[in-house]
Chain A
């Protein structure tokens, strides 16, 4: 792979295809988009195969031209590799999911999706602070158009809310970035990860980055844009939003907040833990009472993302690995759940749970897949969700017993709202003739979901494939942040056998020897 700029090519392919789509017919645009995303998937697989596990921290590095304030520097580590894989894996599925359901302005739609892919890959591959910002922020434009043009009835409100919420967060981050580049004299991310900002400054910078990533994540209480955006977005838009765009926040914490501001991260862990614990319990309870399927899954996303944040800020290997697996797992599972909603929405044109029922009778294949993804979302052993939750919560337990206790309720509450959803949709009597007339999955729909199911199972049974590329990066990160790790709140005593043995023999004299001791 020496010399071949594979990351730039991965950016160029969808970019060129996006422009081409604008000049094509609807059918031409569909095929162009599908082929382009498959090429990127193939390139992604090539990337993974050629990734030297345990090798250099930054691989496939490209040092490009410098344009005034940023350099075209690309390169990936294990974290970025996994998230790029997630993006390129979900993109063909998104295009396929929109094959029949999007009928208006298809060329623009496909162009917007391809543009989103460029920006996602760019965000993960950028090695320059401002290049990262460009990609990170530019993602707003295509997503705004996707929600606003092809969304549901209340799409305009949702698109504004999505855009302005995330913009406000990111702009504060920009001010922090300007300061960092000015102080450190470089905008290279690897260099900044090794630069030590004074502790007092770190807190401010951390908060500015937090403003952006917390919104993107989204964390309670700035999560309110997410349910609106999800509900109104078209199916594929929801898939990409839940699948990849929500991961930008977690990736940001991992790439910027932790390694660049370790002291501030250590000090403000209580904030992350507190907000995450609230998020888990509150949004899970909110999810329980939703009448709209997409909204329910959106709230469950907030709860799952809270597990990511506590894992990241546990400052230990299990926590960080669990958080990464949670991001990957949630990207696949919630994406698949949105596809499941999309399948029945395409048939009945409603997302209201009460309108459905008994789908296991007339749509058995659908019911099986839906059940599988429901279980994966709950975190059943054997699926990716279990690995993720187990690792993240175990890591957290070492730091904060209370947080782990509160966040573990997510497993119970998650089971409650997901199974309740499944019962209402798949079991019981078929409520109407319309529902009875719904056909089972077509082969296209089956082919959209089967690969996701396979990967979810793979990640659940043999997570080593996904953990191996990240192992060294976690070690590097831990080495960097270890000095600021927060103290654990549980203080297990190692036991004191000597004292216990001496206890019986010397009880009386010792008691008398220390009369001042309070009893």
Chain B
């Protein structure tokens, strides 16, 4: 295969990478004044990368001798990643303007672009080394983003914490990869799968599997590797938190799915135990630990842990339907969580400073009814209550688990979602049942944020059900490309 064909398949990453470098130069010479232009340019570049997916990059197959794969699965994940990244770029300027002193610098969109490049490589990786390179590119950008508010000690702490624990996780992952390489003699997914399929495989391969899954669980923030999540989410600037909760989550889960199915598919019985444990533990801990939270960002952090648990239930099924369920779950989850964070960005006190206490939402249904209604839709949807779209997400994964015969998993997981419903209800209760708090002032979302909130609320409302035929067809096509 010639270079042109290979490059055509990696076109989205090329667009993003070259675009990021070019914008970095603009940022270096343009300074803070260029932020707005760089932001919009970054969104345009993401759009361009999305358009590039319609070509060979969307369904071209294997590139660079098996290092990279462009298929329907990676396309699905990339569309979600680019969309979430674009929203994270768009929601940032208003937030940074309001926080004291620290205006948004143009490096922010550039870092997000680099992160998106890394995530694109992650979901397209079909070799352990590509996987690692993509993961590190994504992570290094994320560490910087977490501490983007330099003068805020919480933000700096979040960045440091993320970096230290992230480095540890990378080490675990790399150790797992080296074990797999050592016992299978290859880093390519297909060949690794061959090694796992042999009749008497060595114990070393199993150890490798465990370590690889541990490293990936950290990136997904699945229990028991979730400890960093609440602290990082709370400390990072809110737009960055929104980004962390959406795009990297999609990338990490999609990567996990690809590794599990493509590289370690023959070891289904072995990794299923890990996935089931991680899924149930995430659902339960995410739900129980969220109950005591008073900070909305921490609450949403636990909510993201909880949701990863649900997504993993689809993976535990290990069937094309299960993988399609995971992708459906991620798609809907991204919309719900970005919508929630957009609402959180609207929370500010009389002085215009952002507030994060759940109590400050009190009585929002009277001060800002439309915003409260949107938040209520997101919360009920995250809790999986029909007829909101979040119900379909849960339906898809549980349906796959039941079809795969995992009845106890489905029953326990779904029963535990009642616990989760409790804390989502608490947010609704605060907004609708409590007397208005003085801290929450009337204000305007502005056309951009308002439009994005309205759009995500409409998608999550029962009207979203009209998307189901398309979403179902697309996600099953994505899943089939792995099997």
Instruction: Please report A residues at the B interface, Cβ cutoff 8 Å.
Output: 66-69, 105, 108, 130, 133-135, 137-138, 140-141, 144-145, 148-149, 155-156, 159-160, 163-164, 167-168, 171-172, 174-175, 178-179, 182
Given contacts A69-B395, A134-B386, A172-B411, 16 further A-B contacts (CB under 8 A): A67-B469, A68-B472, A134-B391, A138-B385, A138-B387, A144-B425, A145-B432, A159-B429, A159-B433, A164-B421, A167-B385, A174-B398, A175-B407, A175-B414, A178-B403, A182-B403
> Can you give 10 A-B contacts (C-beta < 8 A)?
A69-B395, A69-B399, A130-B395, A134-B391, A156-B433, A164-B421, A168-B415, A171-B415, A174-B398, A179-B402
Chain B residue contacts of A130, Cβ below 8 A: 395
Interface residues of B in 435-483 (CB under 8 A from A): 465-466, 468-469, 471-472
Would you call B399 and A182 a contact (CB within 8 A)?
A: yes
Instruction: Indicate if B99 sits at the interface (CB-CB under 8 A).
Output: no
Would you call B407 and A163 a contact (CB within 8 A)?
A: no
- Listed from nearest, the 5 A-B pairs whose CB atoms lie closest are A68-B468, A178-B402, A134-B386, A171-B414, A168-B418
In the bound complex, CA of A67 to CA of B468 (Å): 6
Q: Which of A105, A140, A160 sits near B422, CB closer than 8 Å?
A: A160
Name the distance in Å between B350's Cβ and chain A's nearest Cβ: 25
Chain A residue contacts of B396, Cβ below 8 A: 69
Chain A residue contacts of B432, Cβ below 8 A: 145, 148-149
In the bound complex, CA of A178 to CA of B322 (Å): 14
Instruction: Indicate if B115 sits at the interface (CB-CB under 8 A).
Output: no
Would you call A133 and B411 a contact (CB within 8 A)?
A: no
Name the distance in Å between A147's Cβ and chain B's nearest Cβ: 10
Instruction: Indicate if B392 sits at the interface (CB-CB under 8 A).
Output: yes
In the bound complex, CA of A105 to CA of B402 (Å): 43
Would you call B425 and A172 a contact (CB within 8 A)?
A: no
Please name the residue on chain A nearest to B416 by beta carbon.
A171
Would you call B421 and A167 a contact (CB within 8 A)?
A: yes
In the bound complex, CA of A171 to CA of B365 (Å): 29
In the bound complex, CA of A241 to CA of B386 (Å): 19
Name the distance in Å between A120's Cβ and chain B's nearest Cβ: 14
Once A67-B466, A67-B468 are accepted as A-B contacts, the answer to whether A148 and B429 lie under 8 Å apart by CB is: yes
Name the distance in Å between A214's Cβ and chain B's nearest Cβ: 15
Chain A residue contacts of B465, Cβ below 8 A: 67-68
Interface residue SS majority, chain B: helix
In the bound complex, CA of A138 to CA of B429 (Å): 17
Chain A residue contacts of B366, Cβ below 8 A: 105
Q: Which of B386, B429, B466 sits near A156, CB closer than 8 Å?
A: B429
Name the distance in Å between A335's Cβ and chain B's nearest Cβ: 25
Chain A residue contacts of B428, Cβ below 8 A: 144
Would you call B433 and A141 a contact (CB within 8 A)?
A: no
Name the distance in Å between B222's Cβ and chain A's nearest Cβ: 22
Interface centre among A130, A149, A163, A172 (most CB of B within 10 A): A163
Q: Which of B380, B399, B415 sits near A172, CB closer than 8 Å?
A: B415
In the bound complex, CA of A216 to CA of B469 (Å): 32
Chain A residue contacts of B471, Cβ below 8 A: 68
Instruction: Indicate if B126 sits at the interface (CB-CB under 8 A).
Output: no
Instruction: Indicate if B410 sits at the interface (CB-CB under 8 A).
Output: yes
Chain B residue contacts of A148, Cβ below 8 A: 429, 432-433
In the bound complex, CA of A144 to CA of B426 (Å): 12
In the bound complex, CA of A144 to CA of B383 (Å): 14
Chain B residue contacts of A135, Cβ below 8 A: 387
Would you call A141 and B425 a contact (CB within 8 A)?
A: no
Q: Which of B392, B402, B425 sits near A69, CB closer than 8 Å?
A: B392
In the bound complex, CA of A179 to CA of B417 (Å): 19
In the bound complex, CA of A164 to CA of B411 (Å): 16
Would you call B385 and A141 a contact (CB within 8 A)?
A: yes
Please name the residue on chain B nearest to A15 by beta carbon.
B462
In the bound complex, CA of A66 to CA of B433 (Å): 37
Chain A residue contacts of B398, Cβ below 8 A: 174-175, 178
Interface residues of B in 359-382 (CB under 8 A from A): 365-366, 380
In the bound complex, CA of A156 to CA of B431 (Å): 12
In the bound complex, CA of A67 to CA of B422 (Å): 29
Chain B residue contacts of A178, Cβ below 8 A: 395, 398-399, 402-403, 410
In the bound complex, CA of A138 to CA of B381 (Å): 11
Would you call B386 and A137 a contact (CB within 8 A)?
A: yes
In the bound complex, CA of A235 to CA of B407 (Å): 42
In the bound complex, CA of A380 to CA of B391 (Å): 46
Please name the residue on chain A nearest to B472 by beta carbon.
A68
Chain B residue contacts of A134, Cβ below 8 A: 386-387, 391
Once A68-B392, A68-B469, A149-B433 are accepted as A-B contacts, the answer to whether A175 and B421 lie under 8 Å apart by CB is: no
Chain B residue contacts of A140, Cβ below 8 A: 385
Please name the residue on chain B nearest to A160 by beta carbon.
B425
Q: Which of B392, B402, B466 sits near A175, CB closer than 8 Å?
A: B402
Once A134-B387, A138-B385, A141-B380 are accepted as A-B contacts, the answer to whether A172 and B414 lie under 8 Å apart by CB is: yes
Digit string of B40-60 for contact with A (CB within 8 Å is 1, else 0)?
000000000000000000000
In the bound complex, CA of A137 to CA of B462 (Å): 13
In the bound complex, CA of A69 to CA of B472 (Å): 9
Chain B residue contacts of A155, Cβ below 8 A: 433
Name the distance in Å between A121's Cβ and chain B's nearest Cβ: 14
In the bound complex, CA of A171 to CA of B411 (Å): 8
In the bound complex, CA of A133 to CA of B414 (Å): 15
Chain B residue contacts of A141, Cβ below 8 A: 380, 385
Name the distance in Å between B309's Cβ and chain A's nearest Cβ: 15
Would you call B466 and A171 a contact (CB within 8 A)?
A: no
In the bound complex, CA of A144 to CA of B465 (Å): 23
Name the distance in Å between A14's Cβ and chain B's nearest Cβ: 15
Chain A residue contacts of B472, Cβ below 8 A: 68
In the bound complex, CA of A178 to CA of B406 (Å): 12
Please name the residue on chain B nearest to A173 by beta carbon.
B414
Chain A residue contacts of B421, Cβ below 8 A: 163-164, 167
In the bound complex, CA of A67 to CA of B396 (Å): 13
In the bound complex, CA of A214 to CA of B402 (Å): 23
Please name the residue on chain A nearest to B366 by beta carbon.
A105
Name the distance in Å between A239's Cβ and chain B's nearest Cβ: 21
Chain A residue contacts of B415, Cβ below 8 A: 168, 171-172
Please name the residue on chain B nearest to A180 by beta carbon.
B402
Please name the residue on chain A nearest to B434 by beta carbon.
A156
Chain A residue contacts of B392, Cβ below 8 A: 68-69
Chain B residue contacts of A156, Cβ below 8 A: 429, 433
Please name the residue on chain A nearest to B414 by beta carbon.
A171
Chain B residue contacts of A167, Cβ below 8 A: 385, 418, 421
Chain B residue contacts of A179, Cβ below 8 A: 402, 407
In the bound complex, CA of A164 to CA of B386 (Å): 14
In the bound complex, CA of A477 to CA of B421 (Å): 37
In the bound complex, CA of A172 to CA of B396 (Å): 16
In the bound complex, CA of A155 to CA of B429 (Å): 11
In the bound complex, CA of A148 to CA of B417 (Å): 21
Chain B residue contacts of A175, Cβ below 8 A: 398, 402, 407, 410-411, 414
Chain A residue contacts of B469, Cβ below 8 A: 66-68
Name the distance in Å between A223's Cβ and chain B's nearest Cβ: 18
Name the distance in Å between B408's Cβ and chain A's nearest Cβ: 10
Q: Which of B399, B402, B422 sits near A164, CB closer than 8 Å?
A: B422
In the bound complex, CA of A140 to CA of B411 (Å): 21
Would you call A174 and B414 a contact (CB within 8 A)?
A: yes
In the bound complex, CA of A34 to CA of B212 (Å): 62
In the bound complex, CA of A140 to CA of B388 (Å): 12
Digit string of B204-235 for contact with A (CB within 8 Å is 1, else 0)?
00000000000000000000000000000000
In the bound complex, CA of A267 to CA of B386 (Å): 33
In the bound complex, CA of A58 to CA of B395 (Å): 28
Chain A residue contacts of B414, Cβ below 8 A: 171-172, 174-175
Name the distance in Å between A109's Cβ and chain B's nearest Cβ: 12
Name the distance in Å between A438's Cβ and chain B's nearest Cβ: 30
Please name the residue on chain B nearest to A208 by beta carbon.
B411
In the bound complex, CA of A134 to CA of B403 (Å): 20
Interface centre among A134, A137, A156, A164 (most CB of B within 10 A): A134
Chain B residue contacts of A144, Cβ below 8 A: 425, 428
Would you call B417 and A171 a contact (CB within 8 A)?
A: yes
In the bound complex, CA of A148 to CA of B395 (Å): 28
Name the distance in Å between B411's Cβ and chain A's nearest Cβ: 5
